[in-house]
């Protein structure tokens, strides 16, 4: 894995850190490849339940590395898109832990995550129009799915930033911390990791996919996805653990 991305595992949580603090964690080709490799690992290793994506040195990600852009470098990975995750997020939950700035591609990286924990001093925006560019890594497409369209339009056309309080008010982020965002993200990840892994994965799948399902097919399609969960070993274990007043021993099957 690239030195521009660091990974560590804590209690079933894979922590992925963009490690380019000298460049405000601007996204490079190497960093994108490192994140893509980490996402593959998250989904392939059964012991990993949740991922956290964060940045070193007090900044989440300041966007595309413009120096690399001028050299003709694309900070994308085939099949996964910008940052190695925007077009194909992992099947397991991914939490963004945001310190400092999540701007341009950094915001697009953030909104590709399932949940967001941010420090109260964090700033968010898609300022591409200020540079004669367009937020093409999902910003102008995905942001209106997550906040009101008129607000997304304002952010896209003005390029202005919003703070953590406003982002929380809009529902763009889940939690605001006065301390380290990573600590808050770990707390949230631990709560998720304690739940049945099959149930968590399929719940995410239904939440993500069902918005595009025809209304008359929704329950049929949901049943197709969740039926295996209800007959799994984990479902029986969850019921038994509840009855016996003990912690479940999940097997992920």
Q: How far is CA 181 from CA 92, 143, 186, 216, in A?
A: 20, 22, 9, 41
Q: Is 73 a catalytic residue?
A: no
The phi, psi pair for 47, rounded to 5°, reads -75, -15
Q: Which of 128, 149, 169, 237 is catalytic?
A: 128
Is 241 exposed, middle or buried, given 0-12, 13-18 or 19+ CB atoms closer than 10 A? middle
Q: How far apart are CA 218 and CA 156, in angstroms?
A: 32
Cα 200 from Cα 13, distance rounded (Å):
14
Is 108 noted as a catalytic residue in this protein? Answer: yes
d(C-alpha 35, C-alpha 46), whole Å: 18
Query: Which residue out of 4, 33, 99, 108 is catalytically annotated?
Result: 108
Catalytic positions are 108, 128
């Amino acid at each position: 894995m690239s030195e521009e991305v660091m990974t560590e595992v804590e209690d079933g949580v894979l922590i992925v850190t963009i490690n380019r603090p000298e460049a405000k964690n601007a996204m490079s080709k190497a960093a994108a490849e490192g994140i893509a490799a980490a996402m593959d690992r998250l989904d392939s290793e059964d012991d990993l339940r949740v991922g956290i994506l964060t940045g070193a040195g007090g900044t989440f990600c300041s966007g595309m590395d413009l120096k690399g852009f001028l050299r003709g470098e694309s900070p994308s990975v085939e099949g996964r898109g910008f940052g190695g995750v925007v077009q194909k997020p992992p099947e397991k939950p991914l939490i963004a832990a945001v310190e400092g700035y999540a701007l341009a591609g950094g915001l697009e990286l953030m909104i590709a995550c399932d949940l967001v924990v941010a420090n109260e001093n964090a700033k968010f925006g898609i300022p591409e129009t200020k540079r004669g560019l367009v937020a093409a890594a999902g910003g102008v497409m995905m942001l209106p799915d997550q906040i009101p369209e008129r607000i997304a339009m304002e952010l896209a056309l003005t390029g202005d930033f919003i703070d953590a309080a406003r982002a929380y008010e809009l529902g763009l982020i889940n939690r605001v911390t006065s301390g380290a965002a990573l600590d808050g993200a770990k707390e949230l990840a631990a709560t998720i990791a304690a739940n049945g892994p099959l149930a968590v994965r399929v719940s995410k799948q239904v939440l993500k996919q069902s918005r595009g399902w025809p209304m008359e097919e929704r329950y049929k399609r949901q049943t197709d996805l969740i039926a295996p969960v209800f007959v799994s070993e984990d479902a029986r274990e969850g019921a038994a653990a509840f009855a016996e007043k003990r912690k479940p021993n999940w097997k992920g099957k």
